[in-house]
Structure 1
Amino acid sequence: MKLLLNIKKENDDLGKQVNNLANISFLAKHIKHFIAALLFASSFNIQGQELLYNDGEKYTLGDISVSGNTSFSEQTIVAYSGLRKGKEIKIPGEDISAAIKKLWNSKLFSDIEIYITKIEDNIAHLEIRLSDLPQLNELKINGVKKSKKEKIIEENKLKKGTKVTENLRTTTKNFLENKYKKEGFLNSKIHINTIDVKDSIETARVNMVINIDKGEKVKIKDIVFNGNTVLSDKKLRKSMKSTKKINRFRILKRSKFIDSAYQADLSSVIEKYKENGYRDARILSDSLIVNDNKTISLKIDVNEGELYTFGDITFIGNTIYTNEQLGRLLRIRKGDTYNGVLLQKRIADNSKPDAQDITNQYQNNGYLFSTINPVEVSADNNVIDMEIRISEGKPAYFNNVSISGNDKTNDHVIYREIRTRPGQLYSKANVVRTIRELGQLGFFDAQELVPDIKNPNPTEGTVDIDYVVKETGSSQIELQGGYGGGGFIGTLGLSFNNFSIKDIFKKDAYKPIPMGDGQKLALRLQASRFYQTYSFSFSEPWLGGKRPVQFSASLSQTKQFLYNSQTGNADKNRSFNITGITFGLAKRLTVPDDFFTLSQAVSFQRYDLNNYNTGLFTFGDGYSNNLSYTVGLSRNNTSIDPVFPTAGSSFSATAKLSLPYSLFNGVDYDALEKERDSNNAIISDNDSSTLEIEDASDRISEIDQERYKWLEFYKVTFKGDWYTQIVKDLVLKPSVEFGFLGAYNNARGVIPFERFFLGGDGLGNYSLDGREAVQLRGYPNQSLSDADGGTIYNKFSLELRYPITLAASAKIYALGFLEGGASYNSFTDYNPFNVNRSAGLGIRIFMPAFGLLGIDFGHRFDDIPGSPGSSNNWETHFIIGQQF
């Protein structure tokens, strides 16, 4: 029996070479060291001469047998090899090599050998001897979390039944070692063992155990630059956004080494030089020095090159815009220090989809297929002359505009927010604005909104676009209990933010409620021993379905019982009831731009007092009516996620006005004020009798009942928020607030309702009198205003936000804040800079089903009014359902 050719499982590298061999002579050069001499036995009348590979003879194949450890049938292996009985082949020759190669490429076998068993009458009988590669039976991974194991299995294709080769073991080991090194685990160790499975099943199988010891991430002790004279080590280290050396005072950026981040930061170093005119700067070499198992040092050698400046900048190919117009967008002049990074941003700023650059100028006006390429045409004497070569192309028009991914929200709710229409000229600005509007709806995951540009056709000037949305839960439930106000407080709230009132009588629409038309319906009930509140509200954002005019209506009922200090319970015979109803319209404007909204509302509240004598009112029996008109102007261009905006601003200015009743009701309020003062004097006079005091008190109650029968006031408020992304994901939010409550008639005075109560979490369990609870963390609730509330307040705050996760299921972000504010009773006391200050940290969690939850830890720097020595203390505030 003579061996023609074999490939064993240990020779994986050879197997790869065999796969690449193009002809038999090339194959011979690579396998001559382990091919046995092709000898024919003397019984075959051939003396033991060695057959040279190129001197093969032709034979007809006879029987072909199969042996070895394999679960495949003989017929299958022979058929797959391509050898067949009766075929004329050359031995040695390409047919034998091709058979070996084909069997090897199946990745099913090892120890593949082909023998000549005998030759008679020029007929060669062969034997194929091989063994199956073992299959993976069970895999055990030690040293990583369960959630990471599935990814390792997927990335390395280690599913049950996979053929286990030495190459598989080696590549898996190398992959994991490189993976963890890139993540900063330079001392990671990977061990892979296989164990043969011995059972009654004939198929060769093994169990594999992967032991992973990641070790600890190494930290960067130092980063040293060599060859730099223009830019200091400090500036170069600062340009490296993610690779930082150990600094105990730095919180946001860690000093752990991650190779992928380091490689990106090396490019940032070069970009820093380009920003400063050194366009030829390059990294000559970099090395990693291991100090010990915990720290490393990085050594980076740079060549700064020479300083360059801009020379002539010429625009070529532009017909739509003049050189002057494009120059104003480029904003780079001859003689300016060369800045390649700035040049690219002025042409196309990929970090800002709405940037004022040349590319957006074209794309916002239909030229989707335009290309702008800056080309250096001369660099003599370190002065770079540039040509901005522009290919404008044909204007593009939207052909098909579609939406996908919405299962609950009706198409018309989405289409009415889309600013790109079929047949309309392409505008990148309109695409970006559409994404913003869809994100602001609150029905979709703002982080997953994607405009899918399809079928761009430069020849015909058309393009399709599909807005891909991912719906999230838009309804919320509030079910809570707590202790406050002297007793247990229970709250049940339901808010349906994508309601469909037209389907309210359709049985099939309840899944579990009618949804999809973008309307909002909210119900809220709250009760304790001392008060009960019920409220209902509804809003339609597109009244009539034609224009973005929002209609809203709300109805509320509150009943407050007087606290009995003797029993500690509520006195149900003494109550204060408020019934309110409000109708509002809000219209999106087009001037100055369509981020503005003009809102108007008419509201009526009825206050009924039934033997309810407190310090708030001087009459315990009676009523007051509050008929008011509210007008507001707001602008909101925040983007994209309403829970976590990263850019834009939001401001609102409102005025709430009652009728000036004192101008036409014929009541002499000056006389009533004088009479009230005289009765107060009787009460204060120690010589007054009890009867005189009682008569004076009754008369004051009658006067106040007349003064407050119809409330007369005006109220002005302003609030502004700005959002700026300092670095990726880190957002700065400054805010300012102001409020003022005034009276038309000084003799009538400022009403005891609608006042401002500053301090605390900004949440009010109930608002009996239209009061506004204003947040100022670090202080107890409503502790910075008088007991009756203030008529003026201002507040300033600065918040730094960082997201932990912005997933659709739960958006979580941490924050730090500085804020200050104060409450006043008149402008004579008003000083906007004399504020109560605080600082602190907090966290917010937004879940679609429950709304916003959070906790703040605030530290105050000033005393609480009336409480000397109360500064430098901490307050904890729980936030439930507050605005973002």
Structure 2
Amino acid sequence: MNRFKAWMLALIFTAVSLLATVSTAQAIKVGEIEVSGALRTDKSLILTACGLLVGEELSTEKVQQAIRHLYSLGIFSDIRILAVQTGEDEVKLTIAVKELPVLEKVTFIGNKRFKATKLKKLVGLRKGQVVSPKAIKDAQQKLISFYKKEGYLLAQVTPESFQLDKEGRLILNFRIREGKKLAVKRIRIHGNKAVSQREIKKQMKTKEARWWRKGEFKEEVLQQDLNRIVDFYRKQGFRDAKVVKDSLSYDISKKSLFVDITVSEGPRYRFGRISWEGNKALSDKELSQLLTINPGDIYNQEKLDNLLAAIRAAYYEKGYLSATVIPSEPVVDNRVNIHLRLEEGAVSKIREITIAGNTKTKEKVIRRELSIKPGQVFRRSVLERSIRDVYQLNFFSNVEPEVKPLPNGDVDIIINIEEKSTGQAMAGLGYSERDKLVGSVGFNIPNLFGNGQSLELNCDFGTRRETFKFSFTEPWLLGTPTAATLSIYSTKDKWESHFDEKRQGGYGRIGRRLTWPDSYSRVYLRYRLESVEYLNFSEDFSNPLGLKENQPQVSSSLGLTYLRDSRDMPQFPTRGSMCVYTLDFAGGPLQGDESYHKQILESDFYFPILGRLTLMLKLKLGLVDAFGSDRKVPPSERFKPGGTSLDGMIRGYSDWSVGPVQQGVRTGGRAMLVSTAQLQFPLVRQQLYGLLFADAGNAWRWASKANPFHLKRSVGVGMRVVVPMMGTIGLDFAYGFDNPSHKWRSHFQFGTSF
């Protein structure tokens, strides 16, 4: 408005000036144009922008247009065009301008709740910017609106400007009186008859102040609450319910706020007859199976919306991506009849699949995991399974599909990949309760040369443990879904202070993906051959296991493993399960000096609980026994849970400490049961997680002595951190209820098997 007034005044002044200078009956030409008042603005810009030219005929319309053009630059507060007659039919024009100030600095005075940097970003004013009165007013309103949204309804903002020099540099201060954040004293509902105030208030996030809560008010939250109230009514059958009025008022002290909400409930409806037409791809029976509402049920808008979504999803699953469901809701005697008009459209097929973002991983490694193929009918469930299988490679931090519809109804699919660091290099020293000080050198490359192959080389050396391991895995042998692994190793472990166990050997394993009982299943066959020797018996070692010192023995074993893994992600999954059953045989027709059979059943289940909170339930059962009359089971094949043992984690106890003890030696058990309940929640998704857990388990000398009611129990907290080039690091603090020390115990872990 101010700019409009200035423009009108300039126009009137210019017109009067022209009339006073020349006679309107005579054609006047522009003889000369000069600019005055421009301190910062280039005069050539003004002359170009005004559109007036020397030698052309002058008219009121051209003068008006020149003033409009100059005002549109947004850098002048006043513009006048003065005319002085210099000849019989010629005038000299002077364009007199007054420039708007340039912002030198923005400051805030009185802001206590919010930092100046946040407020500067909010107002959007920058140093060097030309500042108009309107820009200052807009910034003032932005600040007032912001404070109101944050609950400071009485906040006042006053702009103050100071011009520094003749060049128009301006310092702009915003003086803020924040006032107190108002607390909601009372929420009053009007017009409700069928639903109580208490039920309505339960739907709101705006709450009345009580001794245990502040009763904070935010305008944005209140507006969302009004929508929640309407949604709640419509779930209860009040299809026509609406909020007709809402208002705010204060008490005399202006410290307490009263919220008044007036609703119009309308009649309560029930569902009537449910019918449809136009279905061909989905049979009447298939549609009937999708129904979650019945005639006579109380009308519920949410249930109706879910039904429509389920029908659309069923069509999408059959490839009808353009299918639409058009509902009509005729009302008869407070009964809402639902009629669905189904427009199926044509089946959508996949034209092409593009892989994007893979800089290291070869495209074939990704494509062979995809169940979707070009030319297939598009099915969303198959796409979701394909994305899950690509995630399971554990080479990528993110896998996002993009479906692009084509004019003919078909689709192109783009799979956007974000690769993560997969190689792990290790060199350093570590300490654990069981192994004491250990040095480690090695590397693990799970995506060798981008081919999806795995190469591992590790060396550990310390006073209680020495290991060397080399392993190579080809996940797609000869271009088929057959995995092959070859591994050689040498280990030397000290069993407390009693003896050393040395093992040298290797194994070969071959695995195959299955289509039965489902495509989540795999089976592996492994053959292991190794030399075993027991050394350095201590003088006080009672040898309850009947070991032979310094006599190398041969162990030849065959293992069969069935694995079913339906987890949504290989690391920090949120849903799905993993079940593993392993059966090992040694001796007998396989020859060798060790003869035993061993079975392990392990199941992990993952359930999303609330938001990103995930519940993990884990159960591990183990049985091992020897063939023959002596029933001797090798020490390394016995179960030794406790701490972070690979046999079974029971945190709150030292490693290997849970289980039978014979003649002062922890011999390990022939039977084991370990269970865990764990809540995991992301602090930074796929990087940092917090844990709450409870462990329970035990190992028994004989399977006949196993007692699921006699378990070692513990609870604790922990965290997991994903470190590039190192893997996942875990730190847990646990308290063992049955630990004689009655102390909290810390556990450090490295790797991804937890």
Q: TM-score, normalised by structure 1?
A: 0.75
Give the deviation of 1:232 after TM superposition. 5.5
CA contact (8 A) 1:489 1:527 kept: yes
CA contact (8 A) 1:624 1:710 kept: yes
1:732 match:
615
Moved more, 35-44 or 323-332: 35-44
1:625 match:
554
**Of 422, 444, 466, the match for 2:396:** 444
Distance 2:647 2:179 in 1: 52
Measured against aligned partners, the alpha-carbon deviations of 1:416-469 in whole angstroms (never above 9, x if no partner) come to 2223322221111222222222222222223xx322222422xx2322121111
Distance 2:109 2:614 in 1: 39
Identity of aligned residues (%): 29
Distance 2:175 2:559 in 1: 69
- Per the alignment, do residues 247 and 580 of structure 1 end up closer, same or farther by CA in structure 2, a change over 3 Å counting? farther
Question: 1:88 is paired with a residue of what secondary structure?
Answer: coil
Report whether the alignment pairs 1:534 with 2:468.
yes
Moved more, 210-219 or 530-539: 210-219
Which residue identity is paired with 1:129? A
1:359 match:
312
Distance 2:426 2:210 in 1: 45
Measured against aligned partners, the alpha-carbon deviations of 1:446-495 in whole angstroms (never above 9, x if no partner) come to 3xx322222422xx232212111122211223344234458532223422
**Of 555, 563, 573, the match for 1:634:** 563
Moved more, 315-324 or 742-751: 742-751
What does residue range 629-708 of structure 1 map to in structure 2 within 5 Å? 629-639=558-568, 641-660=569-588
Distance 1:492 1:731 in 2: 35
2:688 match:
812
1:781 match:
655
**Of 482, 488, 493, the match for 2:437:** 488
Which residue identity is paired with 1:83? L
CA contact (8 A) 1:600 1:631 kept: yes
**Of 505, 522, 528, the match for 1:580:** 505
2:663 match:
none
Measured against aligned partners, the alpha-carbon deviations of 1:638-663 in whole angstroms (never above 9, x if no partner) come to 22x433322222222222222446xx
Distance 1:650 1:71 in 2: 72
Give the deviation of 1:593 after TM superposition. 2.2
1:704 match:
none
Give the deviation of 1:542 after TM superposition. 1.6
Question: 1:445 is paired with a residue of what secondary structure?
Answer: strand
Distance 1:476 1:294 in 2: 60
CA contact (8 A) 1:44 1:119 kept: no
The two structures, once aligned, show a CA RMSD in angstroms of 3.9
2:707 match:
831
Report whether the alignment pairs 1:75 with 2:44.
yes
Give the deviation of 1:393 after TM superposition. 0.8
Which residue identity is paired with 2:238? Y
Give the deviation of 1:85 after TM superposition. 2.7
1:112 match:
79
**Of 88, 93, 97, the match for 1:126:** 93
Which residue identity is paired with 2:547? T
- Per the alignment, do residues 366 and 759 of structure 1 end up closer, same or farther by CA in structure 2, a change over 3 Å counting? same
Give the deviation of 1:556 after TM superposition. 1.6
What does residue range 331-350 of structure 1 map to in structure 2 within 5 Å? 331-348=292-309
What does residue range 449-488 of structure 1 map to in structure 2 within 5 Å? 449-457=399-407, 460-484=408-432, 485=434, 487-488=436-437
Moved more, 627-636 or 396-405: 627-636
- Per the alignment, do residues 478 and 735 of structure 1 end up closer, same or farther by CA in structure 2, a change over 3 Å counting? same
CA contact (8 A) 2:17 2:82 kept: no
Give the deviation of 1:717 after TM superposition. 1.9
Which residue identity is paired with 1:69? A
Give the deviation of 1:67 after TM superposition. 0.5
Measured against aligned partners, the alpha-carbon deviations of 1:695-720 in whole angstroms (never above 9, x if no partner) come to xxxxxxxxxxxxxx622222222222
Which residue identity is paired with 1:175? K
Distance 2:411 2:400 in 1: 16
**Of 674, 686, 700, the match for 1:795:** 674
Give the deviation of 1:328 after TM superposition. 0.6
Question: 2:609 is paired with a residue of what secondary structure?
Answer: strand
Distance 2:729 2:612 in 1: 21
Distance 1:647 1:163 in 2: 56
What does residue range 319-338 of structure 1 map to in structure 2 within 5 Å? 319-338=280-299
Measured against aligned partners, the alpha-carbon deviations of 1:130-185 in whole angstroms (never above 9, x if no partner) come to 1333444567789999x999987777655554323333333344435545654667
CA contact (8 A) 1:56 1:90 kept: no
**Of 61, 64, 67, the match for 2:33:** 64
Report whether the alignment pairs 1:602 with 2:527.
yes
Distance 1:247 1:818 in 2: 36
Report whether the alignment pairs 1:86 with 2:55.
yes
Give the deviation of 1:66 after TM superposition. 0.9
Measured against aligned partners, the alpha-carbon deviations of 1:656-688 in whole angstroms (never above 9, x if no partner) come to 222446xx98xxxxxxxxxxxxxxxxxxxxxxx
Distance 2:110 2:506 in 1: 63
Question: 1:796 is paired with a residue of what secondary structure?
Answer: strand
Give the deviation of 1:528 after TM superposition. 1.2
1:434 match:
386
- Per the alignment, do residues 285 and 75 of structure 1 end up closer, same or farther by CA in structure 2, a change over 3 Å counting? same
Distance 2:488 2:44 in 1: 85
- Per the alignment, do residues 269 and 127 of structure 1 end up closer, same or farther by CA in structure 2, a change over 3 Å counting? same
CA contact (8 A) 2:122 2:142 kept: no
Report whether the alignment pairs 1:592 with 2:550.
no
Give the deviation of 1:102 after TM superposition. 1.5
Which residue identity is paired with 1:524? N
Give the deviation of 1:392 after TM superposition. 0.8
Measured against aligned partners, the alpha-carbon deviations of 1:785-817 in whole angstroms (never above 9, x if no partner) come to 22112222223332222222226xxx1122222
- Structure 1: 5+ residue runs without aligned partners? 1-12, 19-26, 47-54, 349-356, 501-515, 566-573, 666-708, 764-771
CA contact (8 A) 2:11 2:80 kept: no
Give the deviation of 1:124 after TM superposition. 4.5
- Per the alignment, do residues 42 and 858 of structure 1 end up closer, same or farther by CA in structure 2, a change over 3 Å counting? closer
Measured against aligned partners, the alpha-carbon deviations of 1:235-265 in whole angstroms (never above 9, x if no partner) come to 555545x666779999xxx986555455444
Distance 2:679 2:260 in 1: 34
CA contact (8 A) 1:643 1:846 kept: no
**Of 466, 473, 477, the match for 1:543:** 477
1:880 match:
750
2:719 match:
843
Distance 2:179 2:669 in 1: 60
More strand by share: 2
Distance 1:608 1:469 in 2: 49
Distance 1:380 1:462 in 2: 42
Question: 1:832 is paired with a residue of what secondary structure?
Answer: coil
Measured against aligned partners, the alpha-carbon deviations of 1:188-234 in whole angstroms (never above 9, x if no partner) come to 78787666566xxx975456677999999877777665555655566
Which residue identity is paired with 1:116? A
- Per the alignment, do residues 134 and 418 of structure 1 end up closer, same or farther by CA in structure 2, a change over 3 Å counting? farther
Distance 1:56 1:794 in 2: 111
- Per the alignment, do residues 37 and 113 of structure 1 end up closer, same or farther by CA in structure 2, a change over 3 Å counting? closer
Moved more, 727-736 or 156-165: 156-165
Distance 1:474 1:216 in 2: 53
